[in-house]
Amino acid sequence: MPKVKFVAQDFMGMVANLPAIKVDILYESHWTCQAVFRSLPPIAKMYVLRLLYIDSVVKGKVIDEWITPEFQSKHRIAIDKLEQLRVLLTSEGGREQSYKLNPRFQKQLRQALASGGVSPRDSLSSSIAIRLPSLAELDSYAMKQWEGVLLQLVSTAFPESAHDVSSDRFVIETFQKAKLLDSGLKLTEAGFQFLLMDTSYQLWQIVREYISSAEDRGINNVELIRFLLELGFHVVGQPYNRDTLTNTEETVLEELKVLGLVQLQQGMKHRWFIPTKLVTNLAISLSEASSRYQSEGFIVVETNFRLYAYTSSKLQIQILRLFARIEYLLPNLTVGTLNRESVQNAFASGISAEQIITFLQQNAHPHVAKRQPSVPETVCDQIRLWETDSKRVKFVPACYYDDFPSKEIFEKVCMFARDRNGLLWEDSSKKIVMVQADLHEEIRSIIRQQSSYKR
């Protein structure tokens, strides 16, 4: 991944990337402050609590004494994290560095501790709302909505299945901004790789682009981040009143519904939204979210490269088609084969051998997930070998030279190209050489100079 610009890998990385003035505005909400606090490493949390009721600056050497020498590396990581998030502000007093908590963060976190576990929004009693979905039904709704979003992406790779998928312009535009679709609505290399990612990584990548493009849609991105972080404190399955929301928050909820992050309902007098587990897990780390989103596996791979997928999900079947040849489609069982052609088609799309193997391992059926390895080693080794085969030939623009005036000029050209790692092939007996095309002008100049010198 390019490192030209830091790309936030989770929600707090995005907060740390914001300009200082926007971070301070975010810290006017105690829900944001609580979300930031719970994302901190344990040592950083301890430092915040120790400084929470200290209004004056504290010298750096005093904080350094709070930790024993063997934990200095964790201490440094904690301080860096606090500084990146502007929770800890630094001031140079003479030769010594001093620290103090961000006053806005400090005020709001104090308020949060004093008020206790207050609900972020007015919740409606179950007697007012219509029959609420059970947690299982809500999870099913969330995953169905999310699968619908991904089906819009995967259908571009298999146009014959596109007629079964409803297209949403907001989702398509987000895919394009995330570079998963090109301007012609064709799946890009990044898009193929995206489909094999873990749900938590997929969700974060889409939400990140959704936030980044908020201002293009007339939505204040600071207000959007604050609202999303606040949603993390709502109770999954609990109905919350929509009548108290701002126009921006109403617009955001309509779009979050498409992604499966909330469910919207309406009665005779009231309107409410119900958060799903997808939105309440947004602010936690990706590694922690990954374990929460983990669904039961459905794939069995045998040593003869036969693949059995116990699923009726259109999305899962379409993803399998990216690297396997589907042979039979039954109501709740898909049978396919991993062969050279199907796997190399995946490689040509930008999917790697390790991504295929990881996908098969993460989605292994419970009966085979207990054994190690869950995917036969022969299958894994062969997939890697097929990838090696696909990279055996590399096309490089080249220039071919022959009929040199002398052996000396031929050797000078070879030496020049070799010194610049541009020599591709040479035959000294026939005075023939092939070099990379970007060296052509320099080599032509050498040949002219040497030929002129000989005359």
Concatenated DSSP letters of 176-221? HHTTSB-TTS-B-HHHHHHHTS-HHHHHHHHHHHHHHTTGGGT--H
pLDDT confidence of 335, banded at 50, 70, 90?
very high
Nearest alpha carbon to residue 358 among 345, 373, 348:
373
- 435: tokens are 């070099």
CA dihedral 229, 209, 237, 146 (to 10 degrees): -160
> Could you give phi then psi for residue 118, rounded to 5 degrees?
-80, 140
Cβ-based neighbours of 387, under 8 Å, separated by 6 or more: 343, 347, 352, 353
Domains and CATH numbers, the chain: 11-115 (1.10.10), 135-290 (no CATH), 296-390 (no CATH), 398-454 (3.30.70.2610)
- For residues 223 and 245, the answer to whether their CB atoms sit within 8 Å is no
Does residue 103 have a cis bond before it (omega within 30 degrees)? no
Percent of the chain with pLDDT over 70: 89
pLDDT confidence of 93, banded at 50, 70, 90?
low
Q: What is the pLDDT of residue 423?
A: 87
Q: Which helix (H) or strand (E) holds 353?
A: helix 353-362
- 35: tokens are 């979300």
Please state whether the predicted TM-score (pTM) of the whole model is above 0.85. no
* CA 235-239-241 angle, 5° bins: 115
Strands 325-330 and 432-436, sheet pairing: unpaired
pLDDT in tens, 40-88: 989 999 999 999 999 989 998 899 889 888 888 899 999 999 999 999 9
Dist. CA 233–CA 225, nearest whole Å: 13
Helices (H) and strands (E) in the chain, counts: 22, 13
Which residue type does 397 have? P
Q: Is the pLDDT of residue 441 over 90?
A: no
pLDDT confidence of 6, banded at 50, 70, 90?
very low
Strands 271-275 and 333-337, sheet pairing: unpaired
The DSSP code sequence of 9-42 is SSHHHHHHHS-HHHHHHHTTSHHHHHHHHHHS-H
Dist. CA 1–CA 9, nearest whole Å: 12
Dist. CA 309–CA 360, nearest whole Å: 10
Average pLDDT over residues 204-212: 87
The DSSP code sequence of 294-320 is PPPP-EEE-TTSEEEE----HHHHHHH
* CA 275-204-187 angle, 5° bins: 120
CA dihedral 172, 177, 180, 181 (to 10 degrees): 60
pLDDT in tens, 345-372: 999 888 999 999 999 998 999 999 888 8
Q: What is the pLDDT of residue 429?
A: 85
**Cα end-to-end distance, the chain, whole Å:** 53
pLDDT confidence of 115, banded at 50, 70, 90?
confident
Average pLDDT over residues 426-443: 87
pLDDT in tens, 95-104: 678 899 999 9
Dist. CA 154–CA 316, nearest whole Å: 10
